[in-house]
Structure 1
Amino acid sequence: MTQNSYKIPIQGMTCIGCEAHVTEALEQAGAKDVSADSQRGEAIFELSDDQIKKAKKNISAAGYQPGEEESQTSENSVDFNRDGDYDLLIIGSGGAAFSAAIKASENDAKVAMVERGTVGGTCVNIGCVPSKTMLRAGDINGLAQNHPFNGLQTGAGAVNLAGLTEQKDELVGQMRQEKYIDLIDEYGFDLIRGQASFVDEKTIQVNGEHITAQSFLIATGADPAVPDIPGLSEIDFLTSTTALELKDVPKRLAVIGSGYIAAELGQMFHNLGTEVTLMQRSEHLFKTYEPEISDAINDALTEKGLNLITGVTYQKVEQNDDTKSVTIEVNGEKRVITADQVLVATGRKPNTESLNLETAGVKTGEKGEVLTNEFLQTTNVRIYAAGDVTLGPQFVYVAAYEGGVIADNALGVAKRKIDLRFVPGVTFTNPSIATVGLTEQQAKVKGYDVKTSILPLDAVPRALVNHETTGVYKLVVDAQTRKLIGAHIVSENAGDVIYTATLAVKFGLTIEDLTDSFAPYLTMAEGLKLAALTFGRDVSKLSCCAG
């Protein structure tokens, strides 16, 4: 039965929980790809014509008032089985690209993917996969040398970084083959090798050949950005890519920047035996995060032996034989940081320069990022963009989600808006940082009457038995509804805990929902319940399992 796209205005939705109720009501009527938005007072979904009355009846039964439905077919939507060499042509081959290609192929679209370099994009080749396996190696080596348990006699010999790098490369090659390359034949889309550039709004050129398509996806990712510091371009510095290719552990590492890449790689090298100095311009680590989160990770990294310098003004970078130096100014005083290697970790720059986007009528922002609307269309409605090239949340799971949305929109299968309100973020330091939803300040700006709970990690039994108590849990709650709207954590396994918090924020769970649920004792997830309990009592006065 044919599914059509509808938008219905709905009165009475005031929060995330309301959105969940409306979504459930529509899904019970058979609706697919439901997106309910309380701020806009509307729901968009796919449903057959003969079920629209049932859908509106279900909305009313849930306690909300539906208006007149509106078909989402518009002059900007594209009919399927169209003219051109391909229905969807994708530039890039990372998470967004493969997600879109797979979904479009499953809808019998004719799909091509253009890649100028290595198939698989950033995550599997030079990002998530290689960095996290090396971080794990660093954690093991660091614990062998320094742990909190009396009576254990452990130690570690010299690190064979070349061996670790070789093992990392084998893992990357295996995952690239199984999770990317093998899927090209599995789903039957074309892979075109070469550099793509637009000739006009519906044509690209690759290796001198013109290729046309009715819709395009730009998913070319981003590369490490290099700041304009005198002398930096004249030395042999490391980036997040080349740092993972080293064969020898440097004795001293100076890191320019201290975001998630700097913190993760800086701690990794520290655990492998390097003296590491992190330098940043701002006064606080992770300055856009909750201040309690920033303070906790600052304390944790300092306790573990990393050197942190904040409030830095960079003067120059120099190299003398094998020694490099970074001249900085801090509080009006000049300092020189010497090192064997300098790692630049100051953000990422979108890969758009070679695409000739102006010819296709695609506008970019100040940093070269592709500008998109809520449907992920660029300023040319037949061209879409997803992933790091848009400078949205820099997570492969966001890119993959966006690729699926674009496959539906570009082929006219649906008309879906992106919804990035509930995206969790994780930084894989030790302890790790995880966050979802609104910060306290963001919630206040949005007009919420806010209550917060701050639970130090030494109040969490799991942290006590681990003898690792530097960290914090912070919950942000709507005081009127008592619903959780933000969760922010510094702890071991914070990335695993945050998924529970993500579900709680997305589906509008209250403080009481958390405190009335069972939390396994001696897990970090128990910290969420204990943090919720602190809204009404002093958890330090409770027995171990009384929560």
Structure 2
Amino acid sequence: MNQKKWMLLAVLVIAIAVFYGLDGQQYLNRDFFQELYQDNPALTAGIFFALYVAVTGLSLPGAAILTLVGGAIFGLLPGLLLVSFASTLGATLAFIFSRTLLRDWVENKFSGYLGTINKGVEKDGAFYLATLRLIPAVPFFVINLVMGLTAMRAWTFAWVSQLGMLPGTAVFVNAGVQLGLVEELSFKGILTPGLIASFVLLGIFPWIAKAVMETLRRRRVYSAFQKPKTFDNNLTVIGAGSAGLVSSYIAAAVKAKVSLIEKHKMGGDCLNTGCVPSKALIRSAKMAHYLKRADEFGLEQVAGDVNFRKVMERVQDVIKQVEPHDSIERYSGLGVDCVTGTAKVISPWEVEVDGQRIRTKNIIIASGGRPFVPQLDGLEHIHYYTSDTIWELRENPGRMLVVGGGPIGCELAQAFNRLGVQVTQVDHGSRLLHREDEDVSKLVMEQFIHDGVDLRLGHEAQAFRNDNGRQYLEASVQGQIVQIDFDVVLFATGRQANTSNLGLENLGIELTTRGTIAVNDYLQTRFPNIYACGDVAGPYQFTHTAAHQAWFCAVNALFGRFKKFKVDYSVIPWCTFTDPEVARVGLNEQEAQEQGIAYEVTKYGIDDLDRAIADEEARGFVKVLTVPGKDKILGVTIVGYHAGELITEYISAMKHGLGMNKILGTIHIYPTLSEANKFAAGEWKRAHAPEKVLEWVGKYHRWMRH
């Protein structure tokens, strides 16, 4: 820190010390200024101004009281001028102090506000600051300090603050004026019309300011577009995956006019290329694996060969059986106008489908996502699949290279391996399922190795080569290049949002750094009547979260003028359907450590569970993270047979605020796998037994035996 900064810091510390040393708070009252004002009004105004600047500049408590005092002593107009300029000057000083001296302290103290405010400043700049000043969702002193850490210029901060705080300051000063007119502090004395009106205005001002700012924001964002006089629809939904189906279903259920546009197949990825086909494949692979394990169950001379073509055709049959649930016929019968074609948003109220325009009050973009394929050298010379196209296979491909160690890659690698495909799985990380805890990854990797999957971890894919029919991957391992031969490649390297060719760039609808559509807590884009949900919006790319978001989109779009709902991500579960399954809700250990959240761990091994032993599935564990010393659940990970079903009890518990004691006190059927949840709660209880009380209870029982 240079000499100037040390001097400024010294001045700041001395000023705060002097304020509290001289008991500065004793001057923040009406009586002190009332007596002084009668003798010398000009001096009083100067002292008041200086004191107000000091209080706001040093971020000390008392600004609200001083504002009321200013109205009571100086009257409406003089008080408003004094308070307005003093508060702006003080706020700007706090802004400068923060930027110059207090960066580390402010970042640590107000980190929860910092990210949100930074995003707001980057997006809307001065308008965002004006909104914060008019609608004080964040305390003003926090705004002063946190804004100092942004890129906003001090002059911009000052004039926007001056104008933004002026309406609220006027309301507070007026309240002070009315309080100054009260002659006696009695019930009759304070029930004057002016004072009552003033306090009513204080109460409703935030709502008035919010409505005004929302109106200004709407005019600003819609200014370049002509709104239609009439509309064809209440709601138009783009994309008939999980999010689109649910939102259009809700709209039709409440008798809204809704169109659902899909350019490919109804049901989206989940039905056609994702959840449904992958789980059908996994089930066949599970049966094939059980045949190999027949002797464990006392069955001899059990034979069974995998007919790869029949397995893949069964997958298609399963899709066909589920298709009617998501079909055009079903949704048309529910009252949804199903439109087949390519949609493009051409204005905030117009969607074009293959040349036909639909005028609509609201739009929900639910266009989903697609597999991400890294553009590696030589990719154009090899034959590769993704999780969208792998279902075209009808013959065993021989040697399959699976690139990616996340949930999709793990599910498909294990399934194809168990169906007789020679699988090599490559990932740049040191373990599979890197978002899960290490003990989770270890259990899954041990099973993969036992199944015969050739795991190549710590391998960074560099290039593909096709040398006279020999196809191989060049990968970097600790600085060395290795070659991995294959017949086909399956990319499972993540997914990206479908945002292109929708017309978003023409409307200025922003994308996040992850390539998803930027939405607020109500799932609105920059246009309040255009929403986004599902994989195209994130942050979670699961079918069940897409459906969850769809409810908020539909309700907010159709009834938002009365009440809007913020999307709730507090309890988001998911499951990776490997064998063993990996299910999780809430925090795991590595996330808790990254976020600095204190926790206790309770772990119960499923190898001790009677039903798991009887089913020859005695492996895995239930791991629960709780608040230290309390039974509040922070997160649960279950690894094992049917983990995706077992986790439901903990999902409900977290959703409804139930702790480990409630789970322990619930009767679980014997013998079932669900007892694992109760036994985990029992382990927690045992670790938190009241030892001192039990010691006295033991003494009581010994006494009773004599």
Q: TM-score, normalised by structure 2?
A: 0.63
* Cα separation, 2, equivalents of 1:90 and 1:112: 6
* Cα separation, 2, equivalents of 1:272 and 1:486: 34
> Cα offset for 1:155?
4.3
Task: Look up the match of 2:258.
Answer: 111
Task: Look up the match of 2:650.
Answer: 501
Task: Look up the match of 1:46.
Answer: none
Task: Look up the match of 2:519.
Answer: 372
Query: Which stretch shifts more, 146-155 or 303-312?
Result: 146-155
Residue 665 of structure 2 corresponds to residue 510 of structure 1: no
Q: Per residue, is there more helix in 1 or in 2? A: 2
* Cα separation, 2, equivalents of 1:446 and 1:316: 36
> Cα offset for 1:177?
2.3
Task: Look up the match of 1:481.
Answer: 630
* Cα separation, 2, equivalents of 1:274 and 1:141: 12
Rate the CA distance shift 1:472–1:319 in 2: closer, same or farther, 3 A: farther
* Cα separation, 2, equivalents of 1:129 and 1:204: 30
- Given residue 257 of structure 1, which amino acid in structure 2 is its aligned partner? G
- Given residue 664 of structure 2, which amino acid in structure 1 is its aligned partner? T
Higher relative contact order (CA 8 A, sep 6+): 1
* Cα separation, 2, equivalents of 1:447 and 1:380: 36
Residue 373 of structure 2 corresponds to residue 226 of structure 1: yes
* Cα separation, 1, equivalents of 2:671 and 2:444: 22
Task: Look up the match of 1:159.
Answer: 306
- Given residue 678 of structure 2, which amino acid in structure 1 is its aligned partner? K
> Cα offset for 1:97?
0.7
Task: Look up the match of 2:640.
Answer: 491
> Cα offset for 1:322?
5.8
Within the candidate set 316, 327, 333, 2:480 is matched to 333
* Cα separation, 1, equivalents of 2:237 and 2:390: 30
> Cα offset for 1:447?
5.8
Residue 341 of structure 2 corresponds to residue 194 of structure 1: yes
Task: Look up the match of 2:674.
Answer: 525
* Cα separation, 1, equivalents of 2:469 and 2:262: 36
* Cα separation, 2, equivalents of 1:523 and 1:384: 43
2:624 alignment partner, SS class: strand
Query: Which stretch shifts more, 240-249 or 503-512?
Result: 503-512
Kept after mapping to 1: 8 A contact 2:385/2:490: yes
* Cα separation, 1, equivalents of 2:301 and 2:644: 28
Rate the CA distance shift 1:251–1:522 in 2: closer, same or farther, 3 A: farther
Rate the CA distance shift 1:401–1:536 in 2: closer, same or farther, 3 A: closer
Task: Look up the match of 1:314.
Answer: 461
1:238 alignment partner, SS class: strand
- Given residue 179 of structure 1, which amino acid in structure 2 is its aligned partner? D
Residue 552 of structure 2 corresponds to residue 405 of structure 1: yes
* Cα separation, 2, equivalents of 1:466 and 1:280: 33
Cα root mean square deviation, aligned: 2.7
Q: Deviations over 1:241-299 (max 9, x none)?
A: 22122101222211000111111111111111112111111112111112221222122
* Correspondences of 1:261-410 after superposition (within 5 Å): 261-320=408-467, 323-410=470-557
Q: Deviations over 1:1-24 (max 9, x none)?
A: xxxxxxxxxxxxxxxxxxxxxxxx
> Cα offset for 1:421?
1.6
Kept after mapping to 1: 8 A contact 2:294/2:300: no
Task: Look up the match of 1:56.
Answer: none
Q: Per residue, is there more strand in 1 or in 2? A: 1
- Given residue 495 of structure 1, which amino acid in structure 2 is its aligned partner? G
* Cα separation, 2, equivalents of 1:250 and 1:482: 51
* Correspondences of 1:234-253 after superposition (within 5 Å): 234-253=381-400
- Structure 1's unaligned 5+ residue stretches are 1-39, 41-67, 539-547
Q: Deviations over 1:165-185 (max 9, x none)?
A: 223223212322233323222
Task: Look up the match of 1:137.
Answer: 284
Give the paired residue count: 473
* Cα separation, 2, equivalents of 1:429 and 1:218: 32
Structure number with bigger Rg: 2
Kept after mapping to 1: 8 A contact 2:235/2:364: yes
- Structure 2's unaligned 5+ residue stretches are 1-137, 139-202, 219-227, 688-706
Task: Look up the match of 2:28.
Answer: none
Kept after mapping to 1: 8 A contact 2:294/2:302: no
* Cα separation, 1, equivalents of 2:484 and 2:675: 42
* Correspondences of 1:66-105 after superposition (within 5 Å): 75=215, 83-105=230-252
- Given residue 364 of structure 2, which amino acid in structure 1 is its aligned partner? L
> Cα offset for 1:434?
0.2
Q: Deviations over 1:200-245 (max 9, x none)?
A: 2222222122322121111010111001321123311011122122
* Cα separation, 2, equivalents of 1:83 and 1:497: 51
> Cα offset for 1:340?
1.7
Kept after mapping to 2: 8 A contact 1:322/1:340: no
- Given residue 430 of structure 1, which amino acid in structure 2 is its aligned partner? D
Rate the CA distance shift 1:337–1:521 in 2: closer, same or farther, 3 A: farther
Kept after mapping to 2: 8 A contact 1:353/1:368: no
* Cα separation, 1, equivalents of 2:473 and 2:542: 31
- Given residue 273 of structure 2, which amino acid in structure 1 is its aligned partner? I
* Cα separation, 2, equivalents of 1:493 and 1:82: 55
Within the candidate set 425, 450, 454, 2:574 is matched to 425
- Given residue 287 of structure 1, which amino acid in structure 2 is its aligned partner? H
Kept after mapping to 1: 8 A contact 2:285/2:416: yes
Kept after mapping to 2: 8 A contact 1:98/1:180: no
> Cα offset for 1:497?
0.2
Query: Which stretch shifts more, 483-492 or 501-510?
Result: 501-510
Q: Deviations over 1:6-64 (max 9, x none)?
A: xxxxxxxxxxxxxxxxxxxxxxxxxxxxxxxxxx9xxxxxxxxxxxxxxxxxxxxxxxx
Kept after mapping to 2: 8 A contact 1:131/1:244: no
Within the candidate set 438, 454, 464, 2:587 is matched to 438
